[in-house]
Amino acid sequence: MHALVPLPTVVPLLIAAALAGANAVLPRPIVDAVAIACAAAVTALCALLAAHSAGVTVYWFGGFHPRGGVAIGISFAVDRVGAGMATLAAVLVCAALVYSARYFEEVGSQFAALMLVFLAGMTGFCLTGDLFNMFVFFELMSVAAYALTAYKIEEAGPLQGAINFAITNSIGSFAMLTGIALLYGRTGALNMAQIGTALGGHPVDGLVTVGLLLIMGGLLVKAAIVPLHFWLADAHAVAPVPVCVLFSGVMVELALYGLARVYWTVFSTPLASHAAGVRGILVGLGVLTALVGAVMCFAQRHLKRLLAFSTISHSGTFLIGLGLLTPLGLTASGEYLLEHGLLKAAMFMAAGILLHRFGSVDEYELRGRGRGGDWGVRAAGAVLALGGLGLAALPPFGTFAGKSALEDAVTEVPGYGWVIAVLVLASAITAGAILRATGRVFLGLGPRLPRHQEQLTVLSEQPETLRPHSRTPAVMSTPALLLAVGGLLLGLIGPLRHGIAAAATHLTERGVYAAHVLGGAAPATHLRPPALGTRATDYALAAATLVGALTLAAAALRPRWPPRDSRVARGATTATVALRRLHSGCVNDYVAWLVVGLAAIGGALALT
Amino acid sequence: MSLPYLVAAWLLLVGLYGIVSSHNLIHMVVCLSIVQSSTYVLLLSIGYRSGAAAPIFADIPVGSRAVDPVVQALTLTDVVVEATVVALLLAVAVQAHKRFGTLDPAELNPLRG
């Protein structure tokens, strides 16, 4: 088992190098087949690791084992959460590669090679037990992601999107590296378990707080948490659809996984007495992100950008669960995140099907064009509608269980009950936006042109165009349908849910992790995984979400939208336009927001 | 002894200021590498010991005082990372200039709202 641990990272790197080198020699079907086989093999390996890592499976590179609790070597330390996230990444890379076999007309083997490097970065990030190694894999996946965003380098959009993405995320990475350097200066360790142990005995001081701020800042930029989120929508709007599948489905969520890992293995003991303050900051950021993302999502007409803001909103929701700092909160976020990954990936694929068929992802241009299409287009419509309802976590779907657990987790912590209202509101707005778009495109509902043309022309996006096709290949619609079905049904599998609860609880036990990695005795007491169940109030909240979503979608599809008559509507429109103007597309502004955001989080941390 | 730390902080701030105020992509990318230089200075100064030798134990006796080789390895890795990011961004900047005749990120601006 131990010998398999580095393979999910090593194999895709080697295959990527071979594919990139053989660009001129290999015909495209062979390149695609090799890349898909590689991603499938990594999926199997990660699933195997997840199944067999009941505790923590540790692999020391070069056989540099720790002596007396001091680790000189670099380790991969795999537990079920890490292996599970790596499996999600591998599944989505596999699906995206299958999808892109027909999505692109002309593509060199560099695309497949970059996708595999991206996969290697993500699996390494999930499996590593070393903080600096985590940074390196974080950068590896980031650089592959920048290159993939700029893949269509002939157009202005991808260039701008890649610049915004690369500059903001690089600054985030440097912040993270600075934080790691400060922690190394304090503890002389890079192994996460060892840093946690070394910091554990002392009260937290300014240096450790700054280290936490910088590492957290880097991860929050990648997780697209407001006000560090601006890059995400730009990158998603212009990146090729198979790449968006990975960005929204797993890359953003991986940053939250990284935050959970670093918090619990490194900072949980020294910060134990300040946990309430950290909780307040993280949940506050999550609430802000969920709401800003939802409002911006509703304001979009470019489908990929709409889905991108929905991802921001959901990222905030996951941060709320994580930020509660309880095993139940982490369980709920993990479960919801997994289902969101599959559903959002499927929805991006559905948007890609529309782009492939009609050469546009603009809601108004596509109005009614999805009506009476062949089964490929109908599949896209079904995926978008079901995905929208599924992400709102309505009862027949598996996501309801995860969302209910999140609501329970919020009520479990005293003083945070009001967050439930935010969860319902954000879900209703994002689902309403997706239902509105689906209704307009596939049922031909709503007006032909936005009424507030004069306000929207300033801020509208260029539609992404590709030569239209007359039919949708099955390799594009099948992965979308399979992922959507998976996302809707996973939450109905009881053993999987209990497995996630046990794995999430295990992640929060710092002592057990440190004992596995560094040797020595594990603490005798083990936390029990939280009980999962649904209550009557959860059904009521789901009903409220559904009513809210349908009302918003119906209101937006009325002939007179947005209404000018009432003062409330006028105020809401003005506020939305003001919020949209902040998303200026200018990287200077984004970096300024990043600095202000980090300073604000730092100020809040200093006060706790 | 705190001078290197002040230099690192100064490089970080001045680089960030440069990025926020920049109207030229090449200038902006160079500012980004200045931000990253602050991490080199920080890492190397964390590992510095006054009066210590380089950590090459071929020509100094084992057990003598040496600077920390770990941070030097981290800095080297960091340099490689920076080279990749900067090369990629410069390639994008060249492409932007070739296609659209501008290096100002504010002019290359189809994404808004």
B71 in a domain, yes or no? yes
- Asked, as a colleague might, if the bond just before A227 is cis with ω within 30 of 0, I would say yes
Q: Domains in chain A: how many in total?
A: 1
For residues B47-79, one letter each, b for 16 or more C-beta atoms within 10 angstroms of the residue's C-beta and e for the rest, the string is: beeeeeeebeeeeeeeeeebbbebbeebbebbe
Q: How far apart are CA A573 and CA A567, in angstroms?
A: 10
Burial of residue A601 (CB within 10 Å: 0-12, 13-18, 19+) is buried
A163 to B88: CB separation less than 8 angstroms, yes or no: no
- Distance in Å, alpha carbon of A157 to nearest chain B alpha carbon: 6
Q: What is the pLDDT of residue B113?
A: 62
A267 in a domain, yes or no? no
Nearest to A229 by CA among A593, A606, A601: A593
Cα angle vertex A414, ends A410, A415, to 5°?
A: 85
Q: Name every residue whose Cβ is closer than 8 Å to that of residue A485 and which is 6 or more positions away in sequence.
A: none
Q: How far apart are CA B90 and CA B87, in angstroms?
A: 5
Structure tokens at A6: 């580095």
Q: What is the ipTM of this complex?
A: 0.94
Does residue A562 register a pLDDT over 70? no
First CA to last CA distance, chain A: 44
The number of residues in chain A equals 608
A372 in a domain, yes or no? yes
B46 to A459: CB separation less than 8 angstroms, yes or no: no
A177 to B112: CB separation less than 8 angstroms, yes or no: no
| Span A122-179, pLDDT tens digits | 999 999 999 999 999 999 999 999 999 988 877 778 888 899 999 999 999 999 999 9
Which range has the worst mean pLDDT, A95-104, A337-346, A369-378?
A: A369-378
Q: How far apart are CA B28 and CA B47, in angstroms?
A: 30
Q: What is the mean pLDDT of residues A74-101?
A: 92
A597 in a domain, yes or no? no
Q: How far apart are CA B39 and CA B46, in angstroms?
A: 10
Domain span including residue A381: 275-583
B106 in a domain, yes or no? no
Cα angle vertex A568, ends A563, A574, to 5°?
A: 75
Q: What is the pLDDT of residue A221?
A: 94
B109 in a domain, yes or no? no
Q: What is the mean pLDDT of residues A573-597?
A: 86
Q: Domains in chain B: how many in total?
A: 1
Confidence of residue A463 (pLDDT cuts 50, 70, 90): very low
Q: Which residue is listed with tokens 């209550």?
A: A535
B107 in a domain, yes or no? no
Angle between helices A230-238 and A131-149 (to 10 degrees): 50
| Span A264-307, pLDDT tens digits | 999 988 888 888 899 999 999 999 999 999 999 988 888 889 99
Does residue A455 register a pLDDT over 60? no
Q: Name every residue whose Cβ is closer than 8 Å to that of residue A514 and which is 6 or more positions away in sequence.
A: A193, A194, A196, A197, A265, A520
B chain contacts of residue A300, beta-carbon cutoff 8 Å: 113
User: CA A347 → CA A16, A37, A244, A305, B14, distances in Å?
Assistant: 27, 24, 10, 12, 42
Q: What is the pLDDT of residue A345?
A: 94
A139 to B85: CB separation less than 8 angstroms, yes or no: yes
Average pLDDT for chain A: 87
- Mutate one of B10, B21, B74, B92 to test the A interface: name it (highest A CB count within 10 A): B92
B110 to A462: CB separation less than 8 angstroms, yes or no: yes
Does residue A456 register a pLDDT over 60? no
φ/ψ of A72, rounded to 5, equals: -95, -40
Do the Cβ atoms of A476 and A356 come closer than 8 Å?
yes
Do the Cβ atoms of A138 and A121 come closer than 8 Å?
yes
Q: What is the pLDDT of residue A462?
A: 47
| CB-based contacts of A521-529 (< 8 A; 24+ apart in sequence) | A527/A327, A529/A327, A529/A331, A529/A498, A529/A501, A529/A502, A529/A504, A529/A505
Q: What is the pLDDT of residue B109?
A: 65
A578 in a domain, yes or no? yes
Nearest to A202 by CA among A186, A184, A178, A181: A186
Structure tokens at A55: 């505790």
Do the Cβ atoms of B59 and A117 come closer than 8 Å?
no
DSSP codes joined into one string, A39-80: HHHHHHHHHHHHHH-SS-EEEEGGG---BTTB--S-EEEE-H
Q: How far apart are CA A287 and CA A422, in angstroms?
A: 7
A604 in a domain, yes or no? no
A528 in a domain, yes or no? yes
A75 in a domain, yes or no? no
Q: What is the mean pLDDT of residues A24-36?
A: 87
Which range has the worst mean pLDDT, A173-177, A291-295, A433-437, A458-462?
A: A458-462
Structure tokens at A579: 């919020």
Q: What is the mean pLDDT of residues A536-556?
A: 87
B89 to A132: CB separation less than 8 angstroms, yes or no: no
B25 in a domain, yes or no? yes
Which of residues 87 through 106 in chain B touch A, CB cutoff 8 A?
88-89, 92-93, 95-96, 99-100, 105-106
Does residue A309 register a pLDDT over 90? yes
A147 to B28: CB separation less than 8 angstroms, yes or no: no
Q: How many CA atoms does the CB half-sphere of B113 hold within 13 Å? A: 18
B111 to A461: CB separation less than 8 angstroms, yes or no: yes
Q: How far apart are CA B46 and CA A188, in angstroms?
A: 10
Q: What is the pLDDT of residue A64?
A: 87
CA torsion through residues B1, B4, B8, B11, sign: positive
| Span B9-56, pLDDT tens digits | 999 999 999 999 998 999 999 999 999 999 999 999 998 888 888 888
Q: How far apart are CA A122 and CA A257, in angstroms?
A: 11
Q: Name every residue whose Cβ is closer than 8 Å to that of residue B43 and which is 6 or more positions away in sequence.
A: A181, B71, B72, B74, B75, B78
- Distance in Å, alpha carbon of A114 to nearest chain B alpha carbon: 13
Q: How far apart are CA A346 and CA A360, in angstroms?
A: 18
A23 in a domain, yes or no? no
The winner for highest mean pLDDT among A100-109, A235-244, A589-598, B98-107 is: A589-598
Q: What is the pLDDT of residue A133?
A: 93
- Asked, as a colleague might, if the bond just before A523 is cis with ω within 30 of 0, I would say no
Structure tokens at A343: 């559903």
Q: What is the pLDDT of residue A452?
A: 57
- Of all residues in chain A, the percent with pLDDT exceeding 70 is 95
- Distance in Å, alpha carbon of B50 to nearest chain A alpha carbon: 15
| Span A182-213, pLDDT tens digits | 999 988 889 999 998 888 878 888 889 999 99
DSSP codes joined into one string, A176-200: HHHHHHHHHHHHS--BHHHHHHHHH
Q: Closest partner residue to B39 among A147, A174, A583, by Cβ?
A: A174
- Distance in Å, alpha carbon of A493 to nearest chain B alpha carbon: 40
CATH classification at residue B71: 1.10.287
Q: Where are the beta strands (DSSP E) in A440-583?
A: none
Domain span including residue B44: 3-100
| Span A468-484, pLDDT tens digits | 777 788 888 889 999 99
A410, containing H or E segment: helix A399-412
Q: What is the pLDDT of residue A337?
A: 92
Q: Which residue has the higher pLDDT, B111 or A371?
A: A371
Do the Cβ atoms of A215 and A223 come closer than 8 Å?
no
Structure tokens at A499: 């497995």
Structure tokens at A402: 């995860």
Nearest to A138 by CA among A111, A170, A113: A170
Do the Cβ atoms of A483 and A391 come closer than 8 Å?
no
Residue of chain A whose Cα is closest to the Cα of B88:
A147
A160 to B110: CB separation less than 8 angstroms, yes or no: yes
B36 to A174: CB separation less than 8 angstroms, yes or no: yes
Q: What is the CA A184 to chain-centroid distance, rounded?
A: 29
B105 to A459: CB separation less than 8 angstroms, yes or no: no
- Mutate one of B1, B77, B112 to test the A interface: name it (highest A CB count within 10 A): B112
DSSP A461: P
- Distance in Å, alpha carbon of A605 to nearest chain B alpha carbon: 20
- Mutate one of B76, B102, B111 to test the A interface: name it (highest A CB count within 10 A): B111
**Max Cα separation, chain A?**
74
B113 in a domain, yes or no? no
Q: How far apart are CA A570 and CA A422, in angstroms?
A: 22
B105 in a domain, yes or no? no
